[in-house]
Structure 1
């Protein structure tokens, strides 16, 4: 079963590009963050609420594959979904698609640990079973 994919649209701003009008490579990580923030918000939960519950999601690893560049003023869709989920770790997957021609520009993943505010690992399935179950249903493709 395919996981639930959330799509959020952004426009490449001038400040995100280099002199050639090409989106600077590190800005895709920012777009990944926008994608996962909006993915969580779409479900009625925010990063702030997670932090208020004492749950942090620091990035442990990031992978990006560049296929084609986005350029200034391009509208792009950030497609985000839950890849791997364990009680202590979570991987988000991403695709950046240019809206005008549906060209796949970038793919990537970020791996996150579930930690408390002291950055000590926690088992989300124990500390916040409702949040863990919600993530698990997104991973399995259930609404």
Structure 2
């Protein structure tokens, strides 16, 4: 698990002063990038070194409590599953230890043409995933 902090800016909120629901996906992306960075890579390195991309093919958010303008949030990202050609990240959004939201994203591993590809074993090991759990 890798955690990062993010302060909610006014532009992240709706007219009611609550974080707009879709912005949680942006928060997830930021924490996923920090997860990859903590493993010694940047997402750009992933594309350049391996010639692969990880587009989101599934996303889910469960909202428990609202986050508001100027809240200091902690967003946790965990690589919960890595398969031959996909990966799942789980997320938790907290404010001072209070759980505000949970969610996940699933990513396909594809080449620049969009064809599904296997994740390189070196990459899986670097991300801490060990061996793939099964097909796609």
TM-score (norm 1): 0.87
Q: How many residues align?
A: 128
Match for residue 133 of structure 1?
A: 125
Where structure 1 has 5 or more consecutive residues not aligned to the other structure, the ranges are 138-143
Which one has the bigger helix percentage?
Answer: 1
Q: How does 1:1-143 map to 2 (within 5 A)?
A: 5-52=1-48, 53-99=50-96, 102-124=97-119, 128-135=120-127, 136-137=129-130
Find the aligned partners of 1:111 and 1:58 in 2 and give their Cα distance: 8
Q: Distance in 1 between matches of 2:17 and 2:3?
A: 24
Q: Which consecutive unaligned segments of at least 5 residues does structure 2 have?
A: 131-136
RMSD over equivalenced CA pairs, Å = 0.9
Residues in 1 aligned to 2:35 and 2:52: alpha-carbon distance in whole angstroms: 17
1:44 and 1:50 map into 2 onto residues whose CA distance is: 11
